[in-house]
Amino acid sequence: MGIARAWWVWLLVVAVGALGSSRLCSSSSPTINNSSCLSWRLAVEANNARAWRTVPPDCHDYVGSYMTGGQYQRDLDMVVQQITAYITTDLQLSNNNYSAWILDVDDTCLSNVLYYRRKRFGCDPYDPTGFRSWAAKGASPAVPAIHTLFRKLVTTGFKVFLITGRDGDSLAHSTTQNLHTQGYTGYQRLFMRNSSYKGQSAVAFKSEIRKQLVDQGYKILGNVGDQWSDLAGDCAGERTFKIPNPMYFVP
Amino acid sequence: MGIARAWWVWLLVVAVGALGSSRLCSSSSPTINNSSCLSWRLAVEANNARAWRTVPPDCHDYVGSYMTGGQYQRDLDMVVQQITAYITTDLQLSNNNYSAWILDVDDTCLSNVLYYRRKRFGCDPYDPTGFRSWAAKGASPAVPAIHTLFRKLVTTGFKVFLITGRDGDSLAHSTTQNLHTQGYTGYQRLFMRNSSYKGQSAVAFKSEIRKQLVDQGYKILGNVGDQWSDLAGDCAGERTFKIPNPMYFVP
């Protein structure tokens, strides 16, 4: 079953990552507490640092330890806790048929930590060919906290839309399969970037899709992504939630 | 001289804070590395946690150590580094007379850490009377990193506008004097909340002021505040920068 498998693959991510980190660092504690890398990570998450191409070289061990040592999961859990509070206490789903929720795919629904570990957790520059090969395998594990949220959204009655910058012409099959095997079933639709959106920024492409949904009568109550470009632009949603990602920046 | 005094008073803030923290915590190191409080702080700074009234009681020691133990200053320095890069590399000041920059006052230009230390670094609920008494003294030290930024903005040719939710009827004199003694000279104008804006949220009030500036022909190139409500709404600015504040939330 997809969900149980997701957790096993996630454990593998953490175990392999921890192995890598222990080889990289003499001690994980001083690494994860590196104060200047912590400041840099905060600047990324608060949308102060923009258009950065690679993780600062001095923060390689720090980001590796962060992603695989437990703090990344704790940070994710905290965001999902905030989202759950919003859903259960602030929202009144008066018209379920048009209550929409947006989720990003890469490093939101599906984890690419195993791939980025080979890219030195983002210290290497973006490699479009390498990432396309990885995505074509359809082997990304679910991010457990987001999968749990996804199931809650679907069972609560939200119409969940997935929007990804992945190329729809070449990666539609592997992405759909990957989502299915990881337990993402019951969403309304997966939007991928097709030829008519090529060359557009993530903000422009995702805004356009969200605008189409709003024009169809949907009310976007929430929007979750690991990039600020998932959450900026038109029709962003009543509430947006930024989940952590110190490994790369999508403009 | 105001600037030199600002640094001395800041040293006092840090020293008094550290004294308080050492009394509160058996060891500052485990406190500042408290992983769940770190997750909470990240959720605040990424605008995921909203409308919170007090710091979680378990994070009292953590926030105290954060604010006075060095990490807060390091995080501030990192944001100012990002702002400086934006000013010096991305911006072309084609028309200096209308290039505007917005700064918030409380815990942006002026520090209230000495006051909030008495309010258990935000574990106590907001006390409007207590805060008004503190602000009326005009004794808030400058935040050194922001004061340095302010001077750079003024000498670069920006028209710097300060916008604060402080009540203009009762706190205009003390605030103006406080800013002056702390070396904030050369700004274009200080906007305070007067009776016509009473009852408005910070987002509505600050949006309205910024809109007036834009209507006068100003181009708002940057906007810095410790609250997301400083940076949301209309005419927010070409770039916004969130500086840290885990002690309180202004809606």
Q: Which residue has the higher pLDDT, B184 or A6?
A: B184
The predicted model gives A7-16 an average pLDDT of 56
Partner residue opposite A43 with nearest CB, options B48, B70, B82: B82
User: Phi-psi bin for B91: left (phi > 0), alpha (psi -120 to 50), beta?
Assistant: beta
Residue to substitute from B38, B42, B65, B86, interface A, most A β-carbons within 10 A: B42
B40 touches chain A (CB under 8 A): yes
From A42, A75, A77, residue closest to B75, measured CB to CB: A42
- Whether A196 has its CB under 8 Å from any CB of chain B: the answer is no
> What was the pLDDT predicted at A97?
84
Residue of chain B minimizing CA distance to A240: B48
- A92, part of any domain: yes
Alpha helices in chain A (DSSP H): 2-24, 28-32, 35-45, 60-68, 71-85, 113-118, 128-137, 144-156, 168-181, 202-215, 228-231
Rg (CA), chain A: 18
**Closest to A82 (Cα-Cα) out of A246, A239, A245:** A239
CA-based nearest residue to A58, from A149, A153, A122, A151: A122
In a domain, B84, yes or no: yes
User: Alpha-carbon distance A42 to A81, whole Å?
Assistant: 19
State the Cα–Cα distance between residues A30 and A62, nearest whole angstrom.
9
Measured in degrees and rounded to the nearest 5, phi and psi for residue A143 equal -85, 110
Three-class SS string for A10-32? HHHHHHHHHHHHHHHCCCHHHHH
pLDDT band at B20 (very low <50, low <70, confident <90, very high): very low
The pLDDT tens digits for B76-88 are 999 999 999 999 9
Nearest CA in chain A to B228: A46
3-class SS of residue B220: strand
Query: Does any CB of chain B come closer than 8 Å to the CB of residue A225?
Result: no
Residues B33-53 as b or e (16 or more Cβ within 10 Å = b): bbebbbbbbbbbbbbbbbeee
Do the Cβ atoms of B40 and A78 come within 8 Å?
yes
Exposed, middle or buried by CB within 10 Å (0-12, 13-18, 19+), for A74? middle
Contact state of A78 with B47 under an 8 Å Cβ cutoff? no
Residues of chain B neighbouring A49 (CB-CB closer than 8 A): 78, 82
Residue A89 touches chain B, beta carbons under 8 Å: no
Chain A residues touching B49 at Cβ < 8 A = 78, 82
Residue B91: the pLDDT is: 81
Distance from CA of B32 to the nearest CA of A (A): 9
Contact predicate B68/B20, CB 8 Å: yes
Q: Enumerate the H helices of A46-123 as residue ranges.
A: 60-68, 71-85, 113-118
What's the mean pLDDT in B10-14?
55
**Does B90 have pLDDT greater than 90?**
no
Q: Is residue B166 part of a domain?
A: yes
Task: Give the distance from residue A205's alpha carbon to the nearest chain B alpha carbon, in angstroms.
Answer: 20
Instruction: Kindly state whether B42 is in contact with chain A, defined as any CB-CB distance less than 8 angstroms.
Output: yes
Whether B244 sits inside 8 A of A71 (CB atoms) is no
Residue A157 confidence (pLDDT): 92
Least confident of A212-216, B13-17, B102-106: B13-17
Mean pLDDT score across all residues of chain A: 90
Q: Could you tell me the pLDDT band of residue A15, with boundaries at 50, 70 and 90?
A: low
Count Cβ–Cβ pairs < 8 Å, chain A vs chain B.
82
What residue has token string 């009310």? A219
Q: Name the minimum distance, in Å, from the CA of A160 to any CA of chain B.
A: 20
Residue of A37, A39, A91, A226 to mutate, testing the B interface (most B Cβ within 10 Å of its Cβ): A39
Average pLDDT over residues A62-80: 97
β pairing state of A159-167 and A99-104: parallel
Residue A169, domain CATH: 3.40.50.1000
Could you write out the DSSP letters of every residue in B28-53? Answer: HHHHHT-HHHHHHHHHHHTT-S-S--
On whether any CB of chain A is under 8 Å from the CB of B38, the answer is yes
Give domain status of residue B250, yes or no: no
In this structure, what token pair is assigned to residue B187? 């700004």
Predicted confidence at residue B110, as pLDDT, reads 98
Q: Is the pLDDT of residue B28 over 50?
A: no
Interface of A with B in 131-160 (CB under 8 A): none
Mean pLDDT of B96-101: 89
| Longest CA–CA separation in chain B, Å | 55
Q: Is B113 helix (H, G, I), strand (E, B) or coil?
A: helix
Specify the number of domains making up chain A: 1
A247 in any annotated domain:
no
Cα B108 to Cα A218, B111, B223, B230, distances in angstroms: 39, 7, 11, 10
Instruction: Report pLDDT for A240.
Output: 98
Residue B80 lies in a domain: yes
Is the predicted pLDDT of residue B8 greater than 70, yes or no? no
In a domain, B86, yes or no: yes
Query: Would you call B82 and A49 a contact, using CB atoms and an 8 Å cutoff?
Result: yes
Tally of CA atoms within 13 A in the half-sphere of B108 that contains its CB: 23
Q: Percent of chain A at pLDDT above 70?
A: 85
B128 close to B166: Cβ distance less than 8 angstroms: no
Domain limits for position B22: 2-242
pLDDT of A49 strictly over 60: yes
Instruction: Note whether B85 and B243 are within 8 A (CB).
Output: no
**Residue B56: alpha-carbon gap to chain centroid:** 21
B44 domain-assigned: yes
Chain B: give the shortest CA distance to residue A168, in Å.
30
| DSSP β-bridge partners for residue B220 | B100
List, in order, residues 6 or more apart from B79 with CB less than 8 Å away. A43, A46, A48, B145, B224, B241, B242, B243, B244
pLDDT at A76 over 80: yes
